[in-house]
Structure 1
Amino acid sequence: MINETTDKLATLGHPQRLMVFRMLMRRYPDTVPAGELASELGIKPSTLSNYLNALQRAGLVRQERSGTSLLYSIEMTNVQHMLDFLLNDCCRGRPDICMPFSQGPETMPDRKYNVLFLCVGNSARSIFAESILRTLGEDRFNVYSAGTQPTSQLNPFAVQVLSDKGHDTSVLRSKHISEFAADGAPEMDFVFTVCNQAANEECPAWEGQPISGHWGMVDPVKATGTDAEKSLAFQNAYGALKRRIEAFTSLPVESLDRIALQTAVDDIGRTPVEDMK
């Protein structure tokens, strides 16, 4: 185990290989196209290929093919073995130096939970998610949304869809993520990204280690065509998020330990929305 861990740490000791690894960890359990990794990290494709090959040889990353595209994801079992060795063998699991990693599979406290949805513009998808969960789980969740690069106003198509669905839009506004990282901000129990770009970007460290999930989906704001075609794109985005949030609200949050809850959140993000009946 020492030799295996040494190989993995040596591979991660290169700054740009570590950048690739960190992005894939943030996107887990998604698979990410090589082209997207190169674009987001500003790395030449040929150089990125070398980094990914090294991460694969170390057993940290896996590759799969979809048509002509190469997709990459974290080899989580091997990563967990590496972390287990470092935390349980090297520091003997001592809580004074391994916290918070050695807290064990504790359950969430039985109270009203704080949930934050993130995207880039905070004008459509994260606003949809905020509104839907506020409606479906009002007695169980305090719900917020924000953007890494928020727009000055909400998208009018998004506002129209929410109004048509009976949501109160008067309480909604576009907000910057920094509002929820400032002193006095509510401590988040769950943080979800609903678009790929927000998952790729640097986000502030969240106090209390919230359960996090990535529920990436197509941005309806980028839809083209007639107003009817654009409206349909927003309707589809709303429907996809509603099915994921319905699955989330059905979870027995109070009785699941953190590991089981994180797995359930990952499964919701991994399941195609058309399979959520």
Structure 2
Amino acid sequence: MESSTAADVFAALGQESRLELLRALLEAGPSGLSAGAIGTALGIVPSTLSFHLRALEQVGLIRPTRQGRSLIYAVQVDRLRQTIAFLTESCCGGQPELCGALTLPMLASSPENSPMKPAFNVLFLCTRNSARSLMAEAVLRKLGGDRFRAYSAGSDPAPQPMPEVVEKLKTLGHDVSGIRSKSWQEFLHREAPRMDFVIALCDTLQGQNCPDFGDRAITASWPLPGPGKFEPGSSERVLLLNELYASLHRRIGIFTNLKFDALDRMSLRHQLDDLAQAPLSVAKDR
């Protein structure tokens, strides 16, 4: 980190309300908090809160992610690590390992401006893991080749996938032999694959906070409507499934073709957030 960048970070933190704001977001973890929740917790009026949020965002300490109609703010841990590392890099005559446990995790962390390289583990999340996330998993398995490993899970998984989803994927040439609805708890134990990307496809995940998949994972939200609100076999459900497949195929196609070797982690976050704005469109069976 350059001295000028570090000075900007410290200047942004040179105000008591911003320090309390950052502490509140650190306590919330990777799921973050909405502006309304932050304002209520800290007793800050919206206009003043917006000013403080913008100051911290401009120096890269926090980042908003759109989830449905809300902006969720979370701490950018890598930027915080870089700032602490800046303070300690000359510690003990250029031997920061002698300064104690404070600096060692900072030395081991991957910097925010480091490019990411495939193969990537990608986890798609949805509440029931019966339609949207399963389609996304199947599409990425087909489009991603050896460069991506696709997974999906849910916070409250259904007993089984929607039959229409399995049939559609099979008709479109996807391997459905391993398709099943499963809990995201399968990906939280120590032996589970470490995720590089975690993409939520529900509007709200029924108000639940996503679990912590580690600092390595880049998170994004692509809120898409759920087909479960329509009756099985109805024309509305068939139409929506076509739209969902088309939207996911388009977004994942763009995602797999990003120039990962030329993009740092922050740029990739922006790219994934931009893909969330892609509209639905009806797909013809491929």
Q: TM-score, normalised by structure 1?
A: 0.71
Please say which of residues 185-194 and 93-102 is displaced more in the overlay.
93-102
Please report how far the alpha carbon of residue 11 of structure 1 lies from its aligned counterpart in structure 2 after TM superposition: 4.7
Aligned match for 2:256, one of 249, 254, 267: 249
After superposition, the Cα gap between the structure-2 partners of 1:200 and 1:55, relative to the gap in structure 1 and judged at 3 Å, is: farther
- Equivalent position of 1:152 in the other structure: 159
- Equivalent position of 1:31 in the other structure: none
After TM superposition, the structure 1 = structure 2 runs for residues 67-216 of structure 1, keeping only pairs within 5 Å, are 72-73=70-71, 88=83, 92=87, 94=89, 96=104, 98=106, 103-109=111-117, 111-198=118-205, 200-207=207-214, 209-216=216-223
**Residues of 2 paired with 1:4 and 1:176: CA distance?**
43
After superposition, the Cα gap between the structure-2 partners of 1:104 and 1:273, relative to the gap in structure 1 and judged at 3 Å, is: same
**Is 1:7 the counterpart of 2:17 in the alignment?**
yes
**Amino acid across the alignment from 1:269:** A
1:248-274 Cα shifts (integer Å, max 9, x gaps): 011122332222222222221234456
1:119-170 Cα shifts (integer Å, max 9, x gaps): 1100000000001111111221111110011010101222222122221222
SS of 2:220's equivalent?
Answer: strand
**Residues of 1 paired with 2:151 and 2:219: CA distance?**
14
**Residues of 1 paired with 2:105 and 2:219: CA distance?**
24
**Structure 2 stretches lacking a partner, 5+ long:** 1-10, 58-68, 90-102, 282-286
Contact 1:119-1:147 within 8 A present in 2 as well: yes
**Residues of 1 paired with 2:246 and 2:160: CA distance?**
22
User: If you compute each CA radius of gyration, which structure gives the higher value, 1 or 2?
Assistant: 2
After superposition, the Cα gap between the structure-2 partners of 1:164 and 1:266, relative to the gap in structure 1 and judged at 3 Å, is: same
Contact 1:243-1:273 within 8 A present in 2 as well: no
Please say which of residues 89-98 and 216-225 is displaced more in the overlay.
89-98
**Residues of 1 paired with 2:239 and 2:152: CA distance?**
23
Please say which of residues 111-120 and 91-100 is displaced more in the overlay.
91-100
Contact 1:117-1:129 within 8 A present in 2 as well: yes
**Amino acid across the alignment from 1:191:** V
**Residues of 1 paired with 2:153 and 2:133: CA distance?**
7
- Equivalent position of 1:260 in the other structure: 267
State the aligned residue count: 243
Please report how far the alpha carbon of residue 7 of structure 1 lies from its aligned counterpart in structure 2 after TM superposition: 1.9
**Amino acid across the alignment from 1:7:** S
- Equivalent position of 2:50 in the other structure: 56
1:62-98 Cα shifts (integer Å, max 9, x gaps): 9xxxxxxxx653689xx77x99689627962645364
Contact 1:187-1:208 within 8 A present in 2 as well: no
**Structure 1 stretches lacking a partner, 5+ long:** 25-33, 42-46, 63-70
After superposition, the Cα gap between the structure-2 partners of 1:191 and 1:175, relative to the gap in structure 1 and judged at 3 Å, is: same
> RMSD in angstroms over aligned alpha carbons?
3.9
After superposition, the Cα gap between the structure-2 partners of 1:205 and 1:141, relative to the gap in structure 1 and judged at 3 Å, is: same
Please report how far the alpha carbon of residue 112 of structure 1 lies from its aligned counterpart in structure 2 after TM superposition: 2.1
Q: TM-score, normalised by structure 2?
A: 0.69
SS of 2:146's equivalent?
Answer: coil
